Structure 1
Amino acid sequence: NTLIYVSCNPATLARDLKLLKNNWQPIEIQPLDLFPWTMHVELVALMSRVDE
């Protein structure tokens, strides 16, 4: 009932969160700077299944 979503593109994450919103709710989204001195940031989203 837990999903961890890792994305390297904020626009793609936003798109996918919209697609998943009926079944999954984001609990926390954490940016990670895994590539210092670049513009790249990884995003890790902790999600929980929505009870129907």
Structure 2
Amino acid sequence: MYVVRWARGTPALPNPLLAAAVMASLALQMADLYTPLNEYFGVVPVGITDWDS
């Protein structure tokens, strides 16, 4: 969504609800990965050494 707006030169934040939803989603993902919730959901953050092929 934001990439299309950037490519066309339109403002990226005309819809404050969309921006809030994106930020809330990012915050929930970070909370899931970097708090004790990761044990409950069975997830682990990807380390820098995991990115090499």
Same fold (TM over 0.5): no
Task: Say which structure is richer in helix.
Answer: 2
Higher relative contact order (CA 8 A, sep 6+): 1
Give the TM-score band, short-chain normalised: under 0.3
